[in-house]
Amino acid sequence: MTVIAQAAVRRDIGVFEWLFDPDSWASTDGILASLGDTVILCTIVVLVATFTMVPLAAWLAHTRRGEVSVSWLVTLSRAIPTFAVAGLLVPISLRNGWGFEPWPIFIALLMLALPPIFLNTYTAIQQVDPGAVDAARAMGYSEADVLFRVELALATSVILAGVRVAAVTVVATEPIRAFLGGDGLGRYLRDGLGQNNDGLVIAGAILIAGLAGLTALSFRSVERFALPDGVRRLATTATR
């Protein structure tokens, strides 16, 4: 049986004194562990959202189906406050024996991640130059080829931008999990607010903002590399 010594952080601790203390990072429930919790959940949410929404939106946009109904449905899921969704789901999850985590927070964050990915994919494919699509068809491309080799290729950068927006939003929102029986990076905000420890609140906010910023930056570099060769050449000739 392990004893969890959850000693509270000193109330008058300085923001950087705490951030630069190796113990704050390495202890069993330290920053690294919390960071891991947050990164894992956010990664899964963004992956699930990407691998469901990109195919769905691409197919709908390619066939020009459900333009109004689906985009409405997806946008609606963004209009409902994330905290309300998670807060309502927690008691339901508890009563069904599924625990505090991960379903309530997963579903709430997923609802946040779906709209930007869906809408960016849909719009990008819909707005691909019809001339390019017609030319492909005229050259005897099959419908699948048109979708994968023309439309999706030309839409890549806008789709990735959608994924980036979704990822940053999810990372910045994930801390609500700490207020709903979970942990993750939001725990420092929760404990700081609960224990009237301003240093801890500010340090927690810095960590969350830092992770969100890093997420945005790393997606930018991915966007640069992931662009198909043809599209990149197109971009360089256009600017020349």
Partner 1 sequence: MNYPILKKLILLVVALAVIMTACGDGDGESSIDGPTIRLRGQDFSEAVTIAEVYGQYLQAKGYDVEILTAAGFRTEAIDGLRNDELDLIVDYIGGSLTALAPDAATSADPDAVVAIIGPAYQEIGATLLDYSPAVDGDAFVVRGDSPASTISDVADLGYVFGASAQCFERPQCFLGYTDPAIYGIEFASTVTIEFGTLLGEALAAGEVDAVVWNTTAPQITEEGFKVLEDDKGLHPAQNIAPIVKTAVLDEYGDQLRDDLNELSAMITTADLLAWNTETDIAKRESDDVATEWLEEKGLI
Residue 54 corresponds to which tokens in the numbers above? Answer: 């990109």
196 lies in the binding site for partner 1 (CB under 8 A): yes
C-alpha span between 125 and 133 (Å, rounded): 10
Residue 216 corresponds to which tokens in the numbers above? Answer: 């945005």
Please select the residue that binds partner 1; options are 46, 53, 90, 146, rule is CB under 8 A: 90
Smallest gap from Cβ 90 to partner 1, in A, equals: 7
Restricting to residues 156-195, name those near partner 1 by CB under 8 A: 178-181, 183, 187, 190-191, 193-195
C-alpha span between 208 and 87 (Å, rounded): 21
Query: If binding means CB under 8 A, how many residues of this protein chain bind partner 1?
Result: 27
Q: What's the Cα-to-Cα distance from 42 to each of 167, 173, 186, 214, rounded to whole Å?
A: 7, 10, 13, 13
Smallest gap from Cβ 224 to partner 1, in A, equals: 41
5 lies in the binding site for partner 1 (CB under 8 A): yes
Q: Which residues are CB-contacts of 15 (< 8 A; sequence separation ≥ 6)?
A: 199, 202, 203, 206
4 lies in the binding site for partner 1 (CB under 8 A): yes
205 lies in the binding site for partner 1 (CB under 8 A): no
12 lies in the binding site for partner 1 (CB under 8 A): no
Q: Say if CB 82 and CB 112 are below 8 A apart.
A: yes
Residues within the interface to partner 1 (CB under 8 A): 1-6, 8, 11, 90-91, 94-95, 97, 99-100, 178-181, 183, 187, 190-191, 193-196
